[in-house]
Amino acid sequence: MAVYTEVADEDLAAFVARYGIGRLLSYKGIAEGVENSNFLVHTEAGHFILTLYEKRVNPADLPFFIGLMQHLAEKGINCPQPLEAEDGSMLGTLAGRPAAMVTFLDGMWVRRPRLEHCAALGQALAELHLAGRDFGMTRKNALDVSGWRPLYAGCEAEADTVVPGLSTELAQELTFLEANWPKGLPGGVIHADLFPDNVFFLGTELSGLIDFYFACTDALAYDVVICINAWCFEADGAFNVTKARALLNAYRKVRPFTEAEFAALPVLARGAALRFLLTRLYDWLRVPPGALVTPKDPTEYLKKLRFHRSATSARDYGLDG
Ligand SMILES: Nc1ncnc2c1ncn2[C@@H]1O[C@H](COP(=O)(O)OP(=O)(O)OP(=O)(O)O)[C@@H](O)[C@H]1O
Ligand SMILES: N[C@@H](CCO)C(=O)O
């Protein structure tokens, strides 16, 4: 479930009335998602998404996220467009939480992405990176290489209860990545969480990108390998190089890789795997008894990390140069 905050009907109706989108006709909580509370809101003007930002979102970051969605939507990216209230604000307060209304996007996320989905995603990611070039705000990636050690420290003592030997393996990986993390790669706005559940399709046509709440300023190629990890491994853990090739080739048709990015792919992919392994492990070790949200499996990302450790060049991801 992802409705952490209950909203009184009359409060919601008053909140909606500020947007000039007609009367509230109906609404319902959306079960998917884990970070924030989301509602599908139906008014005389159509359907909208209302998000109440929960504890893990820093309110100071909200102007960046909202401003970014607005910027990208204006550039033609299919992403939620924040609605402006009659007083000109795009952020309000509802039930004691910061809240925003955004446009509803049609489409469904794909449980088992095929080749054509991976290609469409690669193209859309490159378009997002180009559209973000002239966005005026920046946000440090809180989960970049400098953020991994504190996360590890929070898991170190119990990691071996999940997989024997995991604590040492993570420590060694972290030390390697801290010493070898690429610097000076082309940077800009990245989505940083473009997993299949954040990408909508109508058939094989990509119809929308959502959930910009990890977006930040970082190496563009890092966003690409986050996608390789999330889209190009099969359910049994096997890497599908054909899907990776399709994703990367579609991306580079829109924004070609530099030599340095090309060379950095394996190490970036290791870092991206470690980042999601650590956040999943951290959450896994802290599931409250009776929790309604099932934590995501950290070992899925351990397998991905081990695969990338065996990779030596961009060729292992299907690229020849
Ligand atoms: N603009 C939108 N248009 C249509 N549906 C949306 C939109 N935004 C969110 N949703 C729906 O709400 C669900 C949860 O949204 P989202 O992924 O942003 O939530 P979250 O709690 O931040 O999740 P996550 O755990 O992925 O960080 C989505 O799976 C989708 O069904
Ligand atoms: N996409 C993340 C979860 C929330 O953003 C993961 O799969 O670990």
Instruction: Please check whether residue 96 is in contact with residue 121, taking contact to mean a CB–CB distance below 8 angstroms.
Output: no
Q: Note whether 166 and 300 are same-domain residues.
A: yes
**pLDDT tens digits along 196-211:** 999 999 999 999 999 9
CA-CA-CA-CA torsion sign (114, 117, 119, 122): negative
CA of 69 relative to ligand 1 center, distance in Å: 14
**Residue 191 to residue 73: CA distance in whole angstroms:** 14
- Name which residue sits closest to atom 6 of ligand 2, judged by CA: 276
Torsions phi, psi for 47 (to 5 deg): -105, 145
CATH of the domain at 178: 3.90.1200.10
- Name which residue sits closest to atom 27 of ligand 1, judged by CA: 35
Q: Quickly count: other Cβ atoms within 10 Å of residue 88's Cβ.
A: 6
**pLDDT tens digits along 244-281:** 999 999 999 999 999 999 999 999 999 999 999 999 99
Q: Is residue 143 assigned to a domain?
A: yes
Is 195's C-beta closer than 6 angstroms to any atom of ligand 2? yes
Q: Note whether 25 and 59 are same-domain residues.
A: yes
CA of 5 relative to ligand 2 center, distance in Å: 21
Q: Is residue 177 assigned to a domain?
A: yes
Q: Among residues 152, 216, 222, which one has the least CA distance to residue 182?
A: 222
CA of 130 relative to ligand 2 center, distance in Å: 24
- The ipTM estimated for the assembled molecules is 0.94
* CA-to-CA dists, residue 167 to 201, 245, 277, 282, 298, angstroms: 39, 33, 12, 12, 13
Domain end marker among 71, 103, 135: 103
* CA-to-CA dists, residue 95 to 7, 120, 167, 279, 292, angstroms: 6, 39, 41, 28, 21
Q: Note whether 152 and 188 are same-domain residues.
A: yes
Rounded to two decimals, what is the model's pTM?
0.96
Q: Note whether 29 and 120 are same-domain residues.
A: no
DSSP 194: -
**pLDDT tens digits along 41-69:** 999 999 999 999 988 899 999 999 999 99
Question: What is the domain extent for residue 161?
Answer: 115-317
Q: Among residues 32, 31, 52, which one has the least CA distance to residue 195?
A: 32
- Looking at the CA of residue 80, tell me the nearest atom of ligand 1: 1
- Looking at the CA of residue 211, tell me the nearest atom of ligand 2: 5
Alpha helices in the chain (DSSP H): 9-17, 62-74, 115-131, 145-153, 166-180, 220-231, 241-254, 259-284, 298-309
Domain end marker among 82, 103, 124: 103
CA of 298 relative to ligand 1 center, distance in Å: 22
Extract the tokens encoding 20.
């000039």
According to the model, what pLDDT value does residue 4 have?
76
According to the model, what pLDDT value does residue 6 have?
83
**Residue 190 to residue 132: CA distance in whole angstroms:** 8
